Amino acid sequence: MMISAFDVDKTLFKVNTSLHFGLHLYKKGIISTVSLFELLLYYALFCLRLLSTSTLHKKAFERFFHGRSKKELEEAFEKFIENECDKIIYPPAMERLVQVKAEGHYIAFLSNSPDFIVRAIAAKLHADEWAGTLYQVDASGLIEKVLQDLGGREKGEALAAMAKRQGVTLNECIAYSDSMQDLPFLESAGTAVVVNGERPLRKLARKNGWEML
């Protein structure tokens, strides 16, 4: 058996799903203009490599999710992804996903996005396993803090643990991602595939002979 493990944002999808969901919440009047503006600013700084993934996630958490009902956010995102999935999917990634499913691969989605977002995407696209950034809720079901980010290093560790559970080696795993920040994840697998890659990662892919979609 082979494992195909996909990043989500800018890999399976053309967009950052948390940000796109935030825009949706803004249009619904759930978050303020100020909160949206600040998050867009932070995302721009992230794209310029002036903010780390963990810092961006912290800012998104503070502006979008802290103090909100996790159950209500889950339900809102499930409706959102049902309506938006086909619009934001990255076609080459979807074609590869369909192909490896047909070949019998074990499919995993590993993302730094919130766990409830990754869970809904995994259910929509019928992944076998998923992992995202873990959130803790209080006794009332309100999100109170980030428990653990799922960055590139953590994705590599998650893939290694998954391979062990499934009784395969890392050489039998394929990792798909767009970002240099996922380099530990890509390098942990026997095969790395760059999807919709940012320029530094495309350059590295050419040097290493990695496939690019």
Per-residue pLDDT of 94-119, as tens digits, reads: 999 999 999 999 999 999 889 999 99
Mean pLDDT across 200-211: 96
C-beta separation of 93 from 12 below 8 A: yes
pLDDT score recorded for residue 45: 79
Is it the case that residue 21 has pLDDT exceeding 70?
A: yes
* Long-range CB contact pairs, 157-164, < 8 A, 24+: 157/188, 158/110, 158/131, 159/3, 159/5, 159/108, 159/110, 159/185, 159/188, 159/189, 160/188, 162/3, 162/5, 162/108, 162/129, 163/3
Classified as helix, coil or strand, 32 is: coil
pTM: 0.90
Using one digit for the tens of pLDDT, what is the confidence trace for 38-52? 777 877 777 777 777
- State the average pLDDT over residues 17-39: 82
Q: Which residue is it, tokens 């053309």?
A: 14
Q: What pLDDT, in 10s, does the model give residues 128-168?
A: 999 999 988 999 999 988 888 898 999 999 999 999 999 99
Q: Is the pLDDT of residue 59 over 80?
A: no
Rg (CA), the chain: 17
> At residue 54, does pLDDT exceed 70?
no
CA distance 152 to 125: 22
Helix (H) or strand (E) segment spanning residue 106:
strand 106-114
Q: What is the predicted pLDDT for the residue at 31?
A: 76
pLDDT of 51 reads: 73
Q: How far is CA 92 from CA 10, 89, 96, in A?
A: 12, 9, 6
Hey, what domains does the chain have and what are their CATH numbers?
A: 3-15+69-212 (3.40.50.1000)
Say what percent of the chain tops pLDDT 70: 99
Query: With bands split at pLDDT 50, 70 and 90, how would you rate the model's confidence at 79?
Result: very high
204, two tokens: 């590295």
